[in-house]
A and B are shown apart, each in its own frame.
Chain A
Amino acid sequence: MSSLHQSWYEAGARERIAALVDAGSFTEYVGPERRETSPHLGIFDLPAQFDDGIVVGAATVDGTPILIAAQEGRFMGGAFGEVHGAKLTGLLRAAKALNRDVVIAFDTGGVRLQEANAGEIAIAEIMRAVTEARIAGVRVVGLIGGRAGCYGGGGLIAGCCSTLIISEQGRISVTGPEVIETNKGVEEFDSRDRALVWRTMGGKHRTLIGGADLFVDDDAAAFRAAMLAALVRPAKAGSVRNASSVPFGRGERPGLDLATLDAEQDRLERRIARFGDAADATDIWRTLGIDDARAIPDMPSAAFATLAAQYRESADDAR
């Protein structure tokens, strides 16, 4: 592999897939040569793209077959339209049928508003397909660190994944800063205050409160290493502690069940009880035991990862 650093944030969807999977192993389904474009964007005189902003297919990682999807944040902000969403839904249904793990590289503003109703239903179909695949024992690993972040319905899909890998640049939220400001006023959320956006929705905060599992540098090789680690975790979180070198992608595996969601219920109730009155992320970080909370935003990745490992809320048994 190349030792050159490749920014995940700057990379496109196809570059991300190439960085994650074994060389030459990727097969795309319903690729751009099929020209399955959005049937709706023309209504707004907007240009279509031949892959509708998502690449889906099969590949191997260290020789093991997986299914993989990557959103293209540079086309319509990676938003979910009818075709875009349907490609991911189809991939997830195949994952359940094949009992094969799935990797999703998110890069999305959420529902594509020019085809909002189709996008909204697509999100619901994808969340159902993720959850049904997980109940059947499939791992669904989400990677978040692109330009568009992981907003709106993308954040909801991410919340259904079994493991989330995030970089500092990764942002997860439902309502974006601009929409909060439009509806509730600049006093509630100043969308131009970038530092506020990062510490409220960014990768470091999400890692500290248990909203993401693995924190990585903005480096495609780091995302690959974390993906490999996530794919050997037990599919049913907490079922086999420290189960090292369990082969993945084959065999009978327990999946998401009542114990998983009961544990998540407890985890999320505890979060409100502990942090529900916090006015700012720095208050939460202090409550976690981090004395110099204001140093977190500027802290280099490696130092932050070490600190987070000591103080963060874990979601290992409860997602």
Chain B
Amino acid sequence: MDHVIELKNVNKSYNHFSVSNVSVQIKKGFVTGIIGSNGAGKSTIMRMILNLVKPDSGDVHIFGMDYAKHEKSIKDRIGFIYSEDVLYDELTLQDQKKLIAPCYSQWDDTLFRQYCDTFELPLKQKLKSFSKGMKVKATLAIALSHKADLLIMDEPTAGLDPVFRREFLDIMQDIMLDGNKSIVLSTHIMSDLSTIADYITYVQKGRIAFSKEIHELQENYAVVRGGIELLDRDTEQCFLAIKKTRTGFEGLSANLNEAESLFGNEAVIEKASLEDIMYYMQGGKNVAVVN
């Protein structure tokens, strides 16, 4: 089985917002980053993957199983990290662990102690005295100690300082040494992703805009800057989105080679970062999305 997560034609609608026809496959053994602006539907998709929200229609398969029949065995193999606290403030980490450990069939107490040592987490202090970073580390220690095959993280590094973010990425890379483990994380912090993500899934307005290998993005997407006179109906087709300003235009192209042959030296062509891609595809202020 190559896919740990498979969503097929998944729909979910709310009053003012809907996720429509989402089909995604998450490959085993890799890190997949889910990106998109606030309210694009990332979190809804993450929650459907965890069965915290049920889709109106469509199939969700985790490890090839569905939640209706195999909820417990699926969740036994998932580790989760959320951006908000899901631990009891009045308990110590030790107490909290005692509640959670017996829930998992593969809990490894030695491993848990190792992580607590590495993360410098005090076992006997109430969780309410923990800083934000420590709380994330605590959830991380719990998520890593039951030998989960799939780690699902919703904005894990939100609100954390750069030093911890770097540590966090190191831990992720340690986990990825085991080719049977997979990680799915949604984030706003693009630099986190360019270091560890193998695949990027971009969610836009409740749909999957693309799901690609990170190289494809790095090699093919380009930002082109040039004078307005370079644009006409034909050349505009080269772009996914164009922003026109008084000094010229900026456009996002998904085809670096085409852009180079079209504009050559007349325009400045640079590789697009994930942030560039998000900004232009989002159709930010003054950005016209080309159909």
> Is B a genuine binding partner of A?
no
Interface set of A (CB-CB < 8 Å, partner B): none
